[in-house]
C-alpha cells in the first residue's frame, strides 16, 4: 500500500528559521528545503503533501475565541519566507495545501482521512496525536529536525494516558498554553486523563454534571482543538520529486548551495 508523507509546513519552517543563523539569506527556506529532502530520503514516500497556515485570514477558531493564539507576532523576515515556501514545495512537484480559514493541522487531518494507504504526519504540534492510528504515524522532531520520534496509538497512550481520539477532550480539559486555551479550572494533564478514563469523553463528563458552569467553554475548547478533516485538499496522487526543477527554482532565489545539493539528486 502506498504511503503519503504529510508535512506541517509552518511547523518546520519556524524550526528552520530559529535553528539557522539569521545571517544566512532566506534561512527558513534553506533549512526547510534541507529538512524536506532529508525526510523524503529517509521515508521514501509515494506522495508528499505540505500544508500551510494562511496568516492573513483568521480561522473559525480565532473568531470563536478571541484569545486563541493571541500574542503571536512574527518578524517580517519569517513572514516573507512563509510566502515563498509553498512555491518551493511546488517546484519539487509535491502537493501544496493552503486555503483561507484553515490551519495546516486541518489539511493534515484531511489527508490522513482521505489517503487510502499509510500516512506519515510530520509535525512538532502534539495536537496531531489525535490522528494516530494503525494507519497513521506521527513523526515528531526531537532534536532540531535531525531526529524524529514515531508516534502511534501506543505512544499516545504512554505519553498522555488517553486514546488518540480522546486528545481533543484532553486538551479542552487541561488547556493548551501555546494556543491560549485555559482548560477547566483546577484540572491538569493527570486529572484530565483520569476523568477521560472514567467517563470516556468530555461530553459524558458534562452529561454527568461535571463542570456545569464551564460546559459551553469546554465544548468550544474541544472544537478548537479538533482538527477539521473537511479542509479542502488538492487531488491526492503519487508524486515523484522534480529535483532538477526544484534546483533551478532555488538557484533563481539566489540559493546556490542548496540548489546544488538538490540538483545532485537528479543524477544520483
How do the domains of the chain map onto residue ranges?
3-155+231-261, 161-225
Higher pLDDT among residues 70 and 138, named by residue: 138
Region 135-153 average pLDDT: 88
Region 168-190 average pLDDT: 95
Q: CB burial class (10 A; 0-12, 13-18, 19+) of residue 46?
A: middle
pLDDT digits (tens, 9 = 90+) for 33-53: 999 999 999 999 999 999 999
Q: Is the pLDDT of residue 145 over 80?
A: no
Give the C-alpha separation, 176 to 169, whole Å: 12
How many CA atoms within 13 Å lie on the side-chain side of 125?
29
Global pTM reads 0.95
For domain 3-155+231-261, the CATH superfamily is 5'-nuclease (3.40.50.1010)
Give the C-alpha separation, 106 to 9, whole Å: 12
Region 8-33 average pLDDT: 95
Give the domain 161-225 fold. DNA polymerase; domain 1 (1.10.150)
Give the C-alpha separation, 177 to 188, whole Å: 12
Q: Answer yes or no: are the C-beta atoms of 162 and 170 closer than 8 Å.
A: yes
Give the C-alpha separation, 249 to 6, whole Å: 22
Confidence grade of residue 146 (pLDDT, cut at 50, 70, 90): low
Mean of pLDDT over the chain: 94
Question: Are both 3-155+231-261 and 161-225 of the same fold?
Answer: no
Amino acid at each position: 500500500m502506498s504511503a503519503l508523507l504529510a508535512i506541517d509546513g509552518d511547523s518546520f519552517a519556524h524550526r528552520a528559521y530559529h535553528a539557522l543563523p539569521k545571517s544566512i539569506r532566506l534561512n527558513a527556506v534553506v533549512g526547510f528545503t534541507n529538512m524536506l529532502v532529508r525526510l523524503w530520503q529517509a521515508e521514501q514516500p509515494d506522495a508528499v503533501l505540505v500544508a500551510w497556515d494562511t496568516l492573513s485570514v483568521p480561522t473559525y477558531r480565532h473568531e470563536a475565541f478571541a484569545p486563541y493564539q493571541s500574542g503571536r507576532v512574527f518578524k517580517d523576515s519569517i513572514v516573507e519566507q512563509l510566502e515563498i515556501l509553498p512555491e518551493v514545495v511546488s517546484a519539487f512537484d509535491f502537493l501544496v495545501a493552503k486555503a483561507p480559514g484553515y490551519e495546516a493541522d486541518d489539511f493534515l487531518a484531511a489527508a490522513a482521512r482521505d489517503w487510502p494507504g499509510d500516512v506519515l504526519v510530520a509535525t512538532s504540534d502534539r495536537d496531531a496525536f489525535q490522528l494516530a492510528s494503525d494507519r497513521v504515524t506521527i513523526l515528531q522532531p526531537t532534536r532540531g529536525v535531525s531526529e524524529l520520534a514515531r508516534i502511534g496509538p501506543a505512544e499516545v497512550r504512554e505519553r498522555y494516558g488517553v486514546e488518540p481520539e480522546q486528545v481533543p477532550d484532553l486538551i479542552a480539559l487541561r488547556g493548551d498554553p501555546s494556543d491560549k486555551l485555559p482548560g477547566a479550572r483546577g484540572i491538569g494533564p493527570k486529572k484530565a486523563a483520569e476523568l477521560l478514563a472514567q467517563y470516556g469523553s468530555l461530553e459524558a463528563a458534562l452529561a454527568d454534571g461535571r463542570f456545569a458552569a464551564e460546559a459551553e467553554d469546554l465544548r468550544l475548547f474541544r472544537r478548537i482543538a479538533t482538527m477539521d478533516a473537511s479542509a479542502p485538499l488538492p487531488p491526492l496522487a503519487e508524486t515523484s520529486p522534480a529535483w532538477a526543477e526544484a534546483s533551478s527554482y532555488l538557484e533563481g532565489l539566489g540559493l546556490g548551495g542548496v540548489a546544488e545539493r538538490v540538483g545532485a539528486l537528479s543524477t544520483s
